């Protein structure tokens, strides 16, 4: 398994201290130091923004549980620790199988499996189909008016949708390991995002009230294409952010100057991708609710507050 989950850290800790803590924790659990998706802080932030982007009728039901949705949006990264099947649900290495714009890959899971075989499809990652599964599960939970399941699936759906808006979740070069950018995954999505969280918070503006397309899979593959196109820019930004002549042998070699430059080079598309992610999450929640017949969910807040 080439991707494992991460731990959140207080943003006020210095990067050096955080690196030492990370190394200590990794040694403790005998796990390599890698990270995935937008980092805990990034997921929580995007999910919070997504709630604000939902159209008014559904937003009235979700707003009172926004904190719970945001908090639980990291859960799928925690599930990885206990469930081996969780690993490949967070990404799809599109370019390991087909070339951009990936039209040769069928958007339906049975058709993709028929064309390439189940082992291959499971091997490249199944994020788009996991998202579709979560939309169905959320829709069923809304129909059943099951508050616990609504929270579980809405938060998990947010997580997977947010993951695929990180360009590194769409490529076989997910950690820059093929191009001399090893470690870029956690430097970008975790350390950079945590360091500049306040700036991202004020810059992320999802499209409020955007209506979901009826055909989910083409919409998901459009999001994937829109994410993948930033891979090269991100890897170039990593190269440009290093001080010429300096040796970067370990995590602690990446100093504040590196992260300041990385954020400057990637800020615009990172804000755009996070904003699009929040819009996409809102669209998926809306779609699930529409498919459920737009039930009244005014019991959500009381039931979820009671289980806390
Ligand atoms: Zn993830």
Helix (H) or strand (E) holding 305, with range, is helix 300-307
pLDDT at 86: 94
Residues 141-181 have pLDDT tens digits of 999 999 999 999 999 999 999 999 999 999 999 999 999 99
Does position 272 have pLDDT exceeding 90, yes or no? Answer: yes
Among residues 252, 261, 277, the alpha carbon closest in space to that of 160 is found at 277
pLDDT at 307: 73
Q: What is the mean pLDDT of residues 183-194?
A: 96
Ligand 1 centroid to Cα of residue 61, in Å, is 26
Mean pLDDT, the chain, rounded, equals 89
Ligand 1 centroid to Cα of residue 43, in Å, is 9
pLDDT at 27: 39
For residue 212 the two structure tokens come to 């979901």
For residue 46 the two structure tokens come to 């995007």
pLDDT at 25: 42
Residues 21-76 have pLDDT tens digits of 444 444 333 333 344 568 899 999 999 999 999 999 999 999 999 999 999 999 99
The secondary structure of residue 88, as a DSSP letter, is G
Using CB atoms within 10 A of its CB, is residue 218 exposed (0-12), middle (13-18) or buried (19+)? exposed
Among residues 245, 167, 203, 26, the alpha carbon closest in space to that of 7 is found at 26
Q: What is the mean pLDDT of residues 104-124?
A: 97
Ligand 1 centroid to Cα of residue 13, in Å, is 24
Q: What is the mean pLDDT of residues 1-9?
A: 38
pLDDT at 138: 98
Among residues 158, 190, 192, 194, the alpha carbon closest in space to that of 284 is found at 158
Q: Higher model confidence: residue 186 or residue 308?
A: 186
What counts of helices (H) and strands (E) characterise the chain?
Answer: 16, 0
Does position 19 have pLDDT exceeding 50, yes or no? Answer: no
Q: What is the CATH number of domain 15-307?
A: 1.10.575.10
Among residues 279, 270, 287, 155, the alpha carbon closest in space to that of 205 is found at 279
Q: What is the mean pLDDT of residues 86-94?
A: 96
Residues 241-258 have pLDDT tens digits of 999 999 998 888 999 999
Ligand 1 centroid to Cα of residue 164, in Å, is 9
Ligand 1 centroid to Cα of residue 40, in Å, is 9
pTM of the predicted model as reported, rounded to 2 decimal places: 0.88
Spatial distance between the Cα atoms of 6 and 76, rounded to a whole number of angstroms: 11
Ligand 1 centroid to Cα of residue 246, in Å, is 32
pLDDT at 209: 72
pLDDT at 69: 97
Ligand 1 centroid to Cα of residue 44, in Å, is 12
């Amino acid at each position: 398994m080439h991707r494992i989950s991460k731990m959140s850290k207080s943003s006020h800790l210095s990067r050096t201290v955080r690196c030492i803590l990370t190394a200590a924790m990794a040694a403790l659990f005998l796990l390599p130091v890698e990270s995935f998706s937008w980092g805990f802080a990034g997921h929580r932030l995007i999910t919070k923004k997504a709630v604000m982007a939902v159209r008014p009728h559904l937003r009235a039901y979700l707003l009172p549980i926004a904190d719970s949705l945001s908090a639980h949006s990291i859960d799928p990264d925690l599930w990885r620790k206990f469930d081996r099947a969780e690993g490949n649900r967070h990404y799809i290495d599109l370019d390991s199988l087909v070339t951009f714009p990936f039209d040769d890959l069928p958007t339906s899971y049975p058709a993709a499996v028929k064309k390439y075989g189940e082992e291959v499809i499971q091997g490249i990652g199944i994020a788009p189909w996991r998202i579709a599964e979560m939309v169905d599960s959320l829709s069923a939970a809304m129909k059943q008016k099951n508050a616990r399941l609504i929270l579980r699936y809405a938060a998990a759906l947010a997580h997977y949708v947010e993951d695929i808006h990180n360009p590194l979740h769409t490529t076989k070069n997910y950690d820059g390991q093929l191009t001399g950018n090893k470690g870029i995954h956690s430097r970008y999505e975790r350390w950079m995002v945590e360091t500049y969280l306040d700036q991202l918070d004020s810059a992320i503006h999802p499209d409020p009230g955007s209506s979901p397309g009826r055909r989910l899979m083409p919409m998901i593959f459009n999001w994937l294409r829109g994410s993948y196109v930033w891979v090269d820019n991100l890897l170039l930004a990593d190269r440009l952010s290093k001080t010429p002549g300096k040796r970067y042998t370990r995590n602690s070699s990446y100093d504040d100057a590196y992260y300041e430059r990385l954020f400057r080079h990637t800020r615009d598309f990172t804000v755009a991708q996070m904003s699009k992610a929040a819009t996409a999450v809102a669209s998926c929640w809306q779609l699930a609710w529409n498919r459920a017949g737009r039930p009244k969910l005014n019991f959500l807040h009381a039931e979820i507050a009671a289980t806390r």
